[in-house]
């Protein structure tokens, strides 16, 4: 199934929003696919119940604070309901518009404004600042403070959730200044979206992505003006900031023509592919944004069609692939990651019982709603444990960090790797000794 851009809707009271609401026939087939309904068992925490709340708010029967905000904000935004829906309801757009309405109509506390300013404006759009933070966190890990904090368990829930997500960190960061040359026959030139959190906290994923592209004959460029994709801003209803970041990225990648623009994080890619929707009302950017989207490809999509150098060496491992919700349900990239993994000699790929269920990461959800996120993660890790996999494979930054936490807390003897890290391996290696 190809990716289908969301139809434009600019507010909860707009005719376009009402048209999208009217697509829902309230059949309830979405309920079994919804992670929050599965753990909370309440109608208002299902897609159908939330759409009813949106209709009531659009009609002016309820305000966008109180129970409306509570149940909307408990939604992971995983869009599994879109895959399950027989009527083609674009729940992702309904949810995004509802979240923006909550932010626009709810006075923010001083602490909330300060934390959003710091995270969304002063950190995520600035790669070097994030790298500095990662270096500080690496020191925190190296001197043993991380183990002590986790043992004492004294932090408030949101900070405890943030600390638990810290992966093992590196302080060696690629420069990403000059283009990385193709190895062997040059087959094209691609631009790579370095990203923000993944660049600083999962450094090896980006490095492996570049190496795999090079070995397959692609010269890799890193446009200097690129920035955060804006997914985190959209996750908490900051649509204006998301549009600002979208313009900057569109400008950065419009400077020259590329074979493709490559992204390697499922959640980021879904936001990037919505740029044409985000900038649809701006004459100076609408066409440029659509051209950007048309040339954008997830790394799994691109390599499935352009893997000129197959994986080398035998890896006698048992692996399970954990779908990024936004890659699976938003971008409809399901087959390609599995196709790539099956090309690895010696690898046994074991499917989860519920591959379409969220892990509880969902952007900043596991920080904003830690209690519900932990319940969703527990269900996912039980599924993962049932595969007895040596390696848990994923394709998204937030999922990667969430699964690292889950593997550690459940005591599983398994690595967590991005698909490209697996493709980058050359030697036989079995981390569990099995």
Distance separating alpha carbons of residues 404 and 406, to the nearest angstrom? 5
Single pTM value for the model: 0.91
Q: For each of the chain's 434 residues, which pLDDT tens digit applies?
A: 444 444 455 688 888 899 999 999 999 999 999 999 999 999 999 999 999 999 999 999 999 989 999 999 999 999 999 999 999 999 988 998 898 888 888 877 898 889 899 999 999 999 999 999 999 999 999 999 998 988 888 888 888 888 999 999 988 899 999 999 999 999 999 999 999 999 999 999 999 999 999 999 999 999 999 999 999 998 887 889 999 999 999 999 998 999 999 999 999 999 999 999 899 999 999 999 999 999 999 999 999 999 999 888 888 999 999 999 999 999 999 999 999 999 999 999 999 999 999 999 988 899 889 999 999 999 999 999 999 999 999 999 999 999 999 999 999 999 999 999 999 986 544 444 44
Q: How far apart are CA 245 and CA 265, in angstroms?
A: 17
pLDDT of the residue at 417: 97
* 3-class DSSP assignment, residue 103: helix
**Which residues have C-beta within 8 Å of that of residue 256, sequence separation ≥ 6?**
221
Residue 80 has phi, psi (to 5 degrees) of -60, -30
For residue 220, the cross-strand partners are 180, 190
What's the rounded Cα separation, in Å, for the pair 224 and 177? 7
CA–CA distance, 135 with 433 (Å, rounded to integer) = 31
Query: Cα–Cα distance between 248 and 226 in angstroms, integer?
Result: 7
What pLDDT, on the 0 to 100 scale, is given for residue 13? 87
Distances (CA, A) of 163 to 199, 369, 402: 18, 14, 11
C-alpha to C-alpha distance for 8 and 342, rounded to whole angstroms: 38
Round to whole Å and give the CA distance between 169 and 167.
6
Those residues whose C-beta lies under 8 Å from the C-beta of residue 404, and which sit 6 or more positions away, are 165, 167, 416
**7, 12, 9: which is closest to 69 by C-alpha?**
12
Strand order in the sheet with 260-263: 218-221, 188-192, 260-263, 296-298
């Amino acid at each position: 199934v190809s990716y289908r851009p969301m139809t434009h809707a600019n507010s909860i009271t707009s005719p376009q929003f009402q048209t999208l609401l009217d697509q829902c026939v309230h059949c309830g087939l979405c309920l079994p696919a919804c992670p929050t309904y599965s753990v909370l068992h309440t109608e208002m925490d299902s897609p159908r119940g939330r759409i009813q709340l949106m209709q009531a708010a659009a009609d002016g029967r309820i305000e966008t604070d109180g129970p409306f905000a509570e149940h909307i904000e408990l939604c992971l935004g995983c869009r599994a309901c879109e895959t399950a829906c027989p009527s083609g309801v674009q729940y992702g757009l309904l949810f995004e518009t509802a979240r923006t309405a909550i932010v626009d109509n709810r006075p923010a506390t001083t602490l909330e404004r300060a934390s959003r300013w710091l995270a969304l404006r002063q950190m995520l759009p600035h790669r070097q600042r994030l790298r500095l933070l990662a270096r500080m966190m690496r020191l925190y890990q190296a001197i043993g403070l991380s183990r002590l904090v986790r043992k004492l368990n004294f932090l408030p829930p949101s900070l405890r959730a943030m600390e638990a997500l810290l992966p093992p960190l590196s302080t060696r960061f690629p420069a990403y200044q000059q283009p990385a040359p193709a190895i062997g026959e040059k087959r094209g030139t691609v631009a790579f979206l370095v990203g923000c959190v993944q660049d600083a906290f999962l450094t090896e994923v980006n490095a492996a992505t570049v190496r795999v592209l090079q070995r397959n004959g692609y010269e890799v460029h890193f446009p200097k003006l690129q920035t955060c994709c804006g997914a985190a801003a959209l996750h908490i209803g900051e649509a204006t900031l998301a549009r600002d970041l979208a313009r900057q990225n569109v400008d950065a990648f419009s400077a020259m023509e590329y074979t493709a623009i490559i992204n390697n994080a499922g959640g980021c890619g879904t936001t990037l592919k919505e740029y044409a929707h985000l900038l649809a009302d701006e004459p100076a950017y609408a066409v440029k944004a659509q051209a950007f989207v048309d040339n954008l490809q997830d790394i799994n999509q691109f390599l499935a069609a352009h893997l000129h150098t197959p994986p080398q060496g035998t890896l006698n491992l048992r692996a399970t692939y954990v779908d990024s919700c936004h890659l699976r349900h938003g971008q409809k990239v399901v087959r390609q990651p599995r196709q790539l993994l099956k090309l690895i000699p010696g690898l046994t790929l074991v499917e989860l019982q519920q591959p379409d269920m969220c892990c509880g990461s969902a952007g900043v959800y596991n920080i904003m709603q830690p209690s519900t996120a932990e319940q969703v993660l527990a269900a996912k890790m039980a599924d993962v444990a049932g595969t007895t996999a040596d390696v848990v494979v994923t394709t998204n930054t937030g999922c990667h960090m969430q699964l690292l936490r889950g593997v550690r807390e459940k005591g599983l003897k398994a690595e967590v790797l991005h698909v490209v890290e697996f493709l980058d391996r050359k030697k036989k290696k079995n981390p569990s000794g099995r």
